[in-house]
Structure 1
Amino acid sequence: MDSSGSRRRVPRRPASSLAERWTTVDGIDVFYRESVVPPDAPAMVHVHGFGLSGRYLLPTAERLQDEFHTLVPDLPGFGRSGKAPNGLDVPDLAHAAARFLNERGIERATLVGNSMGCPVILEFAHHYPERIDRAVLVSPAGGAYNRPLRRAVGQLSVDSAREPTRMVGVAVPDYLRFGVPSTVRMFRALTQYPSLQRLLELRIPTLVVIGDRDPLMPHAARVQEVANATDNHVLAVQIEGAAHAINFSHSGELAHLIRSFMADRPIVDDPDSPGHARLYEIHRSANLPPVV
């Protein structure tokens, strides 16, 4: 790695059917994956969670690559991307995401986040409302429910036992690369971020997806209570049997949900996944576009 934090000269075997590419954001080398689709396809950016790279988002992103201009970046400081000199907090990451879109010449996109990626999306929508079409918030983490750090560590320990075993090979190298100092700094920024306030400010169609086995999330009744307080086109859906990393563990169900949401279709079980996890609505705002 050179003085700019570059990792782009390290040869690696491609890990995805998406093209692997590099760009530069604020002088930092940023690694990303991108689908090859017609230029008029709507853009969809997948935003990863705490300490991780975009690699664990690929199972869902790859399922959607033929329908959307799909991008999966490693945000600055994460994964294969270079690090900022002083680290980044949630607003910094949101601004970096906007400048990443600038580099790609993308004016508007739907943003799909998991865990920490959800606060990043909320902050992006706060600063750049004209640049986001829809928001998909999967297992949105942060805030009082994950404080203090020892509680979050306990929640993560429980969750790790509920995720597919193959997730270990994806997550552990990312966490080791992210490092302890970055973990402590980012945890503080994430849990102090005003996620609820930003959610209530949203004025775009928003899909919230939670798993009924996710120890980092409040129970469904609390999620429904929060959704009921909004007037911002919120659709909340629960997937039975899912824990926190839904984009990795339940990619078929999640991709089906996203397609239905994007097309304003009713939320029903995926007919192509019989016998798999059941998904169902727990809240639908009256302000959502009518289903067709």
Structure 2
Amino acid sequence: MELTSRWTAAAGTLVHSRAGGDAGPPLVLVHGLGVASPYWERTAAALAPWFRVHAPDLPGFGHTIGPREALDVHQLAEALADWMRTADAWPAVVVGNSMGCQITVDLAVCHPELVRRAVLVGPTIDRTAPGALSQVFRLVRNGFREPPRQFWIVARDYARAGLGRVLRTFLAAMAEPTESWYPRVSAPTLVVRGERDALVTAEWAARVTNALPHGGLVTLRGAAHTANQAAPEALARVVRVFAEEQSAEPAGGTP
């Protein structure tokens, strides 16, 4: 299914998003560090038959102009909240990847009415890696495990955002104490980890899951950090099943 571009006046700017599907509940896809909505295109297309899918470019990324200074995680979450209300994209199943998980958690804690369920795909920052350099090393190592298309998407989006903004946003993500927010997430939340993810260890994914009041864990075989690129159909199936569950305690598994 082809996604269409939309522009919404929100968060003090014109927010660009890609949308698809006209039936079912809203589902919002939150991109990671430096990238934007095309990052989600394959997963969004797989989910569009069952949801009203929205993949926004957060301020400063993709086609959405941001302020001169890079926004931190909380500011990006506030921008997302304003956009969701304006775009009538709530209450939603909110799916974040990588740093997008930090934004999703902040959103779920500060604006619980907007988040019906949350999915955290490769939740960062993994505190089992000491310091920023360890995170960068893991990121580089993970890059060799991703599909080739991922390199071109990241290169284009980083160039558009500017390396300075990407770096400042990365440092803000490193400073964000997201792990202290997990116990405050009231929405049922599913943690998804690719079994080949070099950035987020199995130990960290389990720690995040255990910290969530209503947490479950799924491992995607063969996927690395960006399961939305390597295994979009499998990820879409997991999200769809989780969104349709009636239980407040999502079950774990390894599809």
Work out the number of aligned pairs and report it.
252
| Partners of 1:143 and 1:195 within 8 A in 2 | no
SS of equivalent residue, structure 1 residue 243: coil
Distance in 2 between the 1:47 and 1:146 partners?
24
Deviation at 1:29, TM superposition (A): 2.1
- Structure 1 or 2, whichever has the larger Rg, is 1
- Partner amino acid, structure 2, of 1:224: A
SS in 1 for 2:5: strand
What is the TM-score when the length of structure 2 is the normalising length?
0.92
Identity %: 35
- C-alpha change, 1:29 and 1:238, in structure 2 (3 Å) is same
CA displacement at 1:27 relative to structure 2: 3.0
CA–CA separation in structure 2 for the residues paired with 1:170 and 1:191: 23
Which residue is 1:227 aligned to?
209
Distance 2:251 2:97 in 1: 26
Deviation at 1:30, TM superposition (A): 1.5
Task: Determine if the alignment matches structure 1 residue 34 to structure 2 residue 34.
Answer: no
| 1:46 counterpart = 2:7 | no
Q: Gaps spanning 5+ residues in structure 2: where?
A: none
Would the aligned equivalents of 1:31 and 1:74 in 2 still touch at CA under 8 Å? Answer: yes
1:248 aligns with 2:248: no
- Which residue in the other structure is 2:139 paired with? 156
8 Å Cα contact 1:212/1:238 also seen in 2: yes
5+ residue gaps, structure 1 = 1-15, 266-285
* 1:135 corresponding residue in structure 2: 118
1:116 Cα deviation (Å)? 0.7
Partner of 1:288: 249
Which protein has the bigger helix share?
2
Q: Which string of whole-angstrom CA distances, capped at 9 and with x for unpartnered residues, describes residues 142-181 of structure 1?
A: 2534553322221121111110112122111111222222
The 3 A distance-change label for structure 1 pair 156 and 225 is closer
Q: Deviations over 1:98-118 (max 9, x none)?
A: 111122133411100100110
Identify the residue that residue 57 of structure 1 maps to in structure 2. Answer: 40
> Residues of 2 paired with 1:163 and 1:67: CA distance?
27
The one-letter amino acid of 2:87's match is R
Q: Distance in 2 between matches of 1:81 and 1:147?
A: 33
Deviation of 1:216 (Å)? 0.8
Show CA shifts across 1:67-91 (max 9, x none). Answer: 1111011100111111213221101
Q: Is the 8 A contact 1:32 1:73 kept in 2?
A: yes
Structure with more relative contact order (C-alpha pairs < 8 Å, separation 6 or more) = 2
Separation in 2, partners of 1:213, 1:289: 23
Give distance in 2, aligned partners of 1:229 and 1:194: 13
Instruction: Output the CA distance in 2 between the equivalents of 1:287 and 1:71.
Output: 24
SS at match of 1:21: strand
Matched residue of 1:214: which SS? Answer: coil
- Among candidates 169, 173, 178, match of residue 190 of structure 1: 173
Alpha-carbon distance between aligned partners in 1 of 2:248 and 2:84, rounded to the nearest angstrom: 29
Letter of the 1:19 counterpart = T
Select the residue among 146, 149, 162 that pairs with 1:179. 162
Q: Secondary structure at the match of 2:78?
A: helix
Task: Return the TM-score normalized by structure 1.
Answer: 0.81
